[in-house]
Structure 1
C-alpha cells in the first residue's frame, strides 16, 4: 500500500509535468498565436489608413481638380526615394516578395523582405502611394507584411526549414483573410498561389493563424463583406450561365495579356525608358505620376485611388460615368506598377474586372448586370494571376454570392486556362523568378519585381 508521502510525491510530479508541458506549449505556440492577432490588428490599421488616405486625396481633389498634377508626381517620386534610401526591402507589390522567401534559393532574402523594417516601410510607402491617387491597393502588401510579422516574431519557435515555410505561408494567408474578411480565400491563396508545393504539416499553423487574424479583424471592423452584399434576387443561376463563355473568354484574354505586359515590363521597358528608369528612378516615378494625374483629371477623378469605391458603385447598380472605367483603370494600374513605387495590384485588378464586367453587361442587356459584373471580376483576376481557386473563392466571399459558386468556378477555370496560351508563367511566380534570377532581366529587374 502506498503511503501518504508517496501519493503526495506522485501528485507533485504530475503537477510539475503538466506545468512543464503547458509552458512548453505556450513557449512554442504563444508567439504564433500572438503574431496572428497582431496581423489582424495591422490589417485593420492598413485598411483604415488606406481609406483615410483615399479620402484625404479626394478632399484635396474636390478643392481643385488640378491639385493631382502636383500631388501624384510628388507622392510617387517621394515614395521611390524613401524606398531606395531607407526601405529597400519594401519594394514591389508584396506577394512576389513573400513567394520568393519560400524558395530554397530565396531563404537568404528573408532578412531583407521579412524584416520588421521592411514591413513598416511597406505599409508607410503603400499608404503614401494611395494618398497620391495612384492605382495601388494594400491587399497585396499585407501578404508580405503578414509573412514578415509571423516570421520575425516567431522565428525562435521553428526548428527546421519546413516550420519556417509554414510560418511564412500562415502569415500571408492570415493577411489575405484579415484584409478581405475572407478566411476561406486566405487558406486557398496560401495553398494555390504561395505554397505550390504545399506541406500538409503547415495546415494547423495556417488554420490557427487565419482564424485568429480573421476574428481580430471582425472584432475591430465588423463582419461586413468587402464589396457589400449582392442582391440575391439578381444572382440568377440559370441566367448567369449564358454570360459565362463571354466573360471567361474576354476576361481571360485581357487578364493574360495584362500579365504578359507586366512581366515584360518587369524585365525591361521599351526603348530609352529602361535606361531612364535605371538612372533617374525618382524622376521616372514622378513622370508616371504626372500621366496618372492627367488620366484621372480627364476621367473626372474616377481612376484615382485603389478602385474599391468605384467597384462598389458598379456592383451597387450606380455605373454612371464609369463606362470606360475598366480600360482606363487598367492603364493607371500599369503606370503605377512601372513607376517603381511600392504598392499592390491585387485589389485594383478586381476593380479593373468590375469595370470590364460592366462593359460585358452592356453587351448582354437582357441579363441582370450584377452576375455579369461578378463573372467579369473573377475572369480578369483569374486570367491575370492564373489562380482560379483564389479568384472565384475571393469574389464569392467578398460579395456574399455563394449562390453563384458554380458559374464563378467555371468562369475562373476557363479564364485561367486561356491565360496559359498568352503567358508562360503566372504573374506572381514570374515576378518571383526575376527576384531570384535578376540576370534574366537584362540587366536588372524592374521595380515591380524587386
Structure 2
C-alpha cells in the first residue's frame, strides 16, 4: 500500500507536467499566426511606403516634362481607380480608418468578413497607389490601418469567429501595427489604437497590440533601418517668448482643423447641389471631374499641391518654404476635392502637410520665434483640431521628427487645439465618418444578403 501511493503520486506529477507541456505548445501554436501576421504587416507597410514614393516620383516625372500632362493623368487615374473599385474591389472603398472603427462595434461579423479579407487589403493598396500616382492628395497611412487589420484578422479568422473579443483584439492590433510600421512610430501606433479606436478598447488586447507593434516595427527596421519620417529636427523652446506660440498655434490650428472636420463630414454626408446625384449616378465621370479640378489647382500652385504632401511638409520644416505661402489653403482644398472623388486614400500625411502650411503662415506672425518650432506646433494643432485626437497628434509629430525636447509644447498645443475644435465641430472626424458609414453598410449588407435569400 505504501509503494502504491508513491507510484500514483509520481504518475500524477508526470500527467500534470505533460498537460502543462501540451497547453504550452497549444499556446505557442495560437501565437504563431499572430507573429506571422505582424511580420506581414511590417512587410506590406514597407512595400506600401516605397510604392507611395515611387508613385509620387512617377507622377512628377511626367509633370516635369510638361505640367499639362496632369490634365490627362489625374482625371484618367482617378476614373480608373473608381472603375476598378466598383468592378473588382467594392470592399476596399473608403479611407480605412472609419471601417476599422466600425468593425469594433458589437454584431459587426458581416462587416469584418466583407472588409477584412486579403482581397480587400490588396485592393486598398492598389487603389491608393493609383490615386497617389495620379497626383491626388492621398496618403497611405490611413489605408494601412485597414490593411493591417485585414491581415491580422484573416490569418486569425477561426479564433476571431469564435470570440467577438478576439476579433476586436486582432483588428485593434492590426491597425496599430500598420500605423507604427508606416510612420516608424511605435508609440503613435499604440496611442492611436487606444485613442482613435478606444471606444471598443479592451485591456486584454494590450499584449496582442504591443506584440504586433513590436514585431511589425522590427520587420520594417530590419528592411529599411531606423529612420525618422520627416528627418531629425533640431529645435527646442528655449526662450520665454516661445511660449506665446502655444496658445496661438493651438487656437488657430483648432479653429481651422475644426472647420476642416466640419466640411469633410458635410461632404461625406451630401454634396451640395446636383453634385450629389452626379457622384451616385456617374461615379467614374465624377471622379474624372475631381481629377481635372485637382490638376488645375496643381498647375496654379506650380505643382506644390500634387501628391501626399510629404516632401513639401519636409521642405517647410527644414526652412525651405519661402515660395509656399499659400500652400496650406491650396493643399486643404485639394484634400477636400480628393476626398469627394471617393477614391480610397488616407488623410494622415495630407493633414500634417496642411498643418505645416498653416504653421508657416503663423511663423510669419511671430518672426521672433524659430520658424521650425512654430511649423511643428502648427502641424500638431491642425491635426488635433481636425481629428480631435490630441495624444495621437503630439506623439506622432514627436516621433516623426525626433523632437522629444518639444514634448510639453506639442502636448499643450494639441490639447488647446482639440478643445477649440469642439466649439466649431460637434463630432470628431472619424467618429462622424463612422456614424455616416454604419447606415450605408447596413443597407449594403441587406443587398449582399438578398441573392442568398432568393436561392
* TM-score, length basis structure 2: 0.93
Aligned partner of 1:213 among 212, 216, 223: 216
SS state at 1:320 partner: coil
Cα deviation, residue 421, structure 1: 1.5
Contact preservation (8 Å) 2:237, 2:243: no
Aligned partner of 2:275 among 262, 265, 273: 273
Q: Which ranges of structure 2 fall in alignment gaps of 5 or more residues?
A: 444-455
Q: Structure 1 residues 268, 138: CA separation in 2 closer, same or farther (over 3 Å shift)?
A: same
Aligned to 1:446: none
SS state at 2:196 partner: helix
Q: Which structure 2 residues correspond to residues 98-177 of structure 1 after superposition, within 5 A? A: 98-158=100-160, 159-177=162-180
Q: Which structure 2 residues correspond to residues 64-83 of structure 1 after superposition, within 5 A? A: 64-83=66-85
Aligned partner of 1:359 among 350, 353, 361: 361
Aligned to 1:201: 204
Distance 2:7 2:438 in 1: 65
Distance 2:17 2:54 in 1: 52
SS state at 2:199 partner: coil
Q: Structure 1 residues 285, 120: CA separation in 2 closer, same or farther (over 3 Å shift)?
A: same
SS state at 2:67 partner: coil
Distance 2:18 2:107 in 1: 44
Distance 2:198 2:155 in 1: 21
Q: How well do the aligned residues superpose, as a CA RMSD in angstroms?
A: 2.1
Distance 1:256 1:166 in 2: 30
Distance 2:122 2:262 in 1: 30
Tell me which moved more, 23-32 or 76-85.
Answer: 23-32
Aligned to 1:223: 226
Deviations 1:159-184 (A, max 9, x none): 42111111110000000000001111
Distance 2:242 2:210 in 1: 33
Contact preservation (8 Å) 1:237, 1:407: no
Cα deviation, residue 112, structure 1: 1.5
Aligned partner of 1:242 among 244, 247, 252: 244
Number of residues of Structure 1 aligned to a counterpart in Structure 2? 440
Tell me which moved more, 102-111 or 337-346.
Answer: 102-111
Aligned partner of 2:189 among 186, 191, 211: 186
Contact preservation (8 Å) 2:253, 2:417: yes
Distance 1:387 1:15 in 2: 49
Q: Structure 1 residues 197, 10: CA separation in 2 closer, same or farther (over 3 Å shift)?
A: closer
Aligned to 2:452: none
Contact preservation (8 Å) 1:135, 1:348: yes
* TM-score, length basis structure 1: 0.94
Deviations 1:28-75 (A, max 9, x none): 111011101110111001001001101111111111111110000000
Q: Structure 1 residues 329, 2: CA separation in 2 closer, same or farther (over 3 Å shift)?
A: farther
Tell me which moved more, 95-104 or 155-164.
Answer: 155-164
Distance 2:65 2:136 in 1: 19
Distance 1:277 1:145 in 2: 26
Aligned to 1:347: 349
Aligned to 1:36: 38
Distance 1:439 1:155 in 2: 21
Aligned to 1:425: 427
Aligned to 1:435: 437
Aligned to 2:447: none
Contact preservation (8 Å) 2:254, 2:382: yes
Cα deviation, residue 297, structure 1: 1.0
Distance 1:339 1:156 in 2: 36
Cα deviation, residue 235, structure 1: 4.6
Q: Which structure 2 residues correspond to residues 74-93 of structure 1 after superposition, within 5 A? A: 74-93=76-95
Q: Which ranges of structure 1 fall in alignment gaps of 5 or more residues?
A: 442-450
Distance 1:407 1:237 in 2: 12
Distance 2:295 2:233 in 1: 32
Aligned to 1:444: none
Q: Structure 1 residues 440, 372: CA separation in 2 closer, same or farther (over 3 Å shift)?
A: farther
Cα deviation, residue 18, structure 1: 5.1
SS state at 2:423 partner: coil
Contact preservation (8 Å) 1:256, 1:384: yes
Deviations 1:408-434 (A, max 9, x none): 111111111111121121111111111
Contact preservation (8 Å) 1:123, 1:141: yes
SS state at 1:66 partner: helix
